[in-house]
Structure 1
């Protein structure tokens, strides 16, 4: 079992970091965060306490993962994605429980996207760069724009589809106007 790599400039207080995970420059990880194996957390990220990050997750630079956020296995989070966790933020007023936001297995969130509190990004879904997600995105959906709207369906490559019985067939993403859900 290969130990995690933690850059010398990172401040990692959590002991719950999986093997082969790489944590780069100027990343802060608070003590109660859980990070899986073989993850890549790029520079200048912040990970709060009530956070669960699965295995093989990539988090690009400039992302803050706040309390109540869960990233399942094989998730990709692009640079400068903004997560939010409080539906009615006020200075010095904190909710007793933060809204839970889930990015499901295999989903990707493009750079600069914003996710409002309490949404779920479905399995293998794709959120376009700069999208503002105000509602949950279904499994395998492609969501783009502000507010994000559904424009197509992700189809997994054949080798992935055979390993995932609930997956679509094919090897490409298709775009079609499906409206907002």
Structure 2
């Protein structure tokens, strides 16, 4: 593990693998960084080793980041600068973040996810594998994204939603697999989105209907 100058790491934090932590970071109580993904964990256990004694790539935390208590970040995760989490967030392997991203309390990101710059993900959001989130996106609390059209009823080819830059996803909304939320579009709170939302349009209702976005809302999020 390598950590640069002026970083605070609580004594209860667990750091695995070749994890790197940038300058001026804060890592709070019971945080786990670089936890081995499934294939690495199987290698560790099959060889009868302890995780601490096994060499593998951990995670990379950008400078100026603040990781709050109880957060778990798996191996092969890379964050940009000024990354922040709430409490008890879980971020799985092969997730890549840009700069200035917030991952709120109890958020689950299930891995193989790409997230851009200036993104705000509020508490209790669920993000499955194979999702793309571009810059300046806001995702409200308790929103759920899905990546499997027919769970446990057929062959599984995960395709999560794509959320284009500047889009806003309202609280308690649900996005079904494979849809695209266009640039600057908004999804209203509680909406069930079953089809693409064009750029700068509004989706509301259950199932959601597409309507015009009021002119006063036709600007990128200021995150």
TM range (shorter): 0.7 to 0.9
Q: Deviations over 1:10-60 (max 9, x none)?
A: 001244011001012000011211121101111000111211111110000
- TM superposition shift of 1:156: 6.4
Question: Which ranges of 4 or more aligned residues in structure 1 deviate by more than 4 Å?
Answer: none
Between the aligned partners of 1:45 and 1:146, the Cα distance in structure 2 is: 24
Which residue number corresponds to residue 66 of structure 2? 5
1:45 maps to what in 2? Answer: 107
Q: How many residues align?
A: 158
Q: Does 2:205 align with 1:145?
A: yes
Shift of 1:100: 3.4
- Aligned partners of 1:85 and 1:106: how far apart in 2? 21
Q: Which has the larger displacement, 29-38 or 5-14?
A: 5-14
Residue by residue over 1:95-126, the C-alpha shift from the partner in whole angstroms, topping out at 9 and shown as x without a partner, is: 1x311310100000100000010000000000
What's 1:178 paired with?
none
8 Å Cα contact 2:128/2:160 also seen in 1: no
Distance 1:157 1:77, change over 3 A: closer
Provide the residue aligned with 2:59 in structure 1: none
Distance, in Å, in 1 between the alignment partners of 2:102 and 2:215 is: 25
Higher-Rg structure is 2
The 5 Å alignment of 1:113-152 reads 113-152=173-212
Q: Kindly tell me: are residues 105 and 45 of structure 1, through their superposed partners in 2, closer, same or farther at Cα, counting changes over 3 Å?
A: same
Q: Which runs of 5+ in 1 are unaligned?
A: 162-181
What secondary structure is seen at the aligned counterpart in 1 of 2:213? strand
Match of 1:85? 147
Check the 8 A contact 1:70/1:102 in 2, yes or no. Answer: yes
Distance 1:143 1:61 in 2: 22
1:59-97 Cα offsets, whole Å, 9 max, x none, are 000011101111100000000001110011017x661x3
Instruction: Give the Cα–Cα distance (whole angstroms) in 1 for the partners of residues 199 and 177 of structure 2.
Output: 18
| Cα drift, residue 155 of structure 1 | 3.6
Q: Are positions 1:109 and 2:109 aligned together? A: no
> Higher mean Cα deviation, 147-156 or 74-83?
147-156
DSSP-derived class of the 1:149 partner: strand
C-alpha separation in 1, matches of 2:123 and 2:79? 19
TM-score, with structure 2 as normaliser: 0.66
